[in-house]
Amino acid sequence: MKTKIMTHDHRKIHSDIYRMKPGPVSVRKIPAMSYITQEMNTAYRMDWAGRPEPIDEAWLVWKVVNQLKNITKNNLDYKFTLMPHEILWHEKNDERSLAAQMMQVPDCITEEMFEEAQLHVAKNLKSELPRMELITSESVLCVQKLHIGHYRDTNETLKEIFDFAEQEGYKLDKSYREIYLTPAMMCHKPATWKTVVSVEIHN
């Protein structure tokens, strides 16, 4: 009888980030992690349940990551859960924003696996995919806080983060990250939505 494959939940592995608790602004060390990313230049629908939805471009990272789940399960006996959507906002505007949308993936993902997953998704969609990258970020210090409520209102939490950084003498990046912890389902009321707001500290 074949042994049942254990499912690795990276929300638990990186619980300080993906299971962050409500509380004051804090400084957190973010470990080196791997992501699939897609750069976007698009308007966003900001009333969609759980997270912003790009309007002008198709976000297909999640399809590629789903295929990577199959590849690691079949080739490495490594089964992992799909992680929350993340957006690194470079320029956030009402009409159009520059952003990188991403999803965290296990460190065992290789460029060859990534290319295989992209080819499979492109074949299924019968179209060329937008440019994506497999990246590994360095370990960094960030100032962050869990925002409770609609993600349209995260500017309030972002202001708290920058006020804290100014008081403590930290210099922060202009870009900031939002991690949308609440599943995009209409049954979740906006007042309960959870979004991690995080800004990297400059050395």
The predicted pLDDT at position 1 comes to: 47
Q: Render pLDDT for 49-79 as a digit per residue (tens, 0 to 9).
A: 999 999 999 999 999 999 999 999 999 999 9
The predicted pLDDT at position 34 comes to: 97
The predicted pLDDT at position 145 comes to: 97
What does residue 87 show for φ and ψ, rounded to 5 degrees? -130, 125
- Residue 28, exposed/middle/buried by CB under 10 A (0-12, 13-18, 19+)? middle
pTM, two decimal places: 0.93
For residue 75, is it left (φ>0), alpha (ψ between -120 and 50) or beta? alpha
Neighbour count for residue 101 (Cβ, 10 Å):
24
Question: Please, are residues 84 and 52 in contact by the beta-carbon 8 Å criterion?
Answer: no
**Segment 131-138 mean pLDDT:** 95
The predicted pLDDT at position 3 comes to: 64
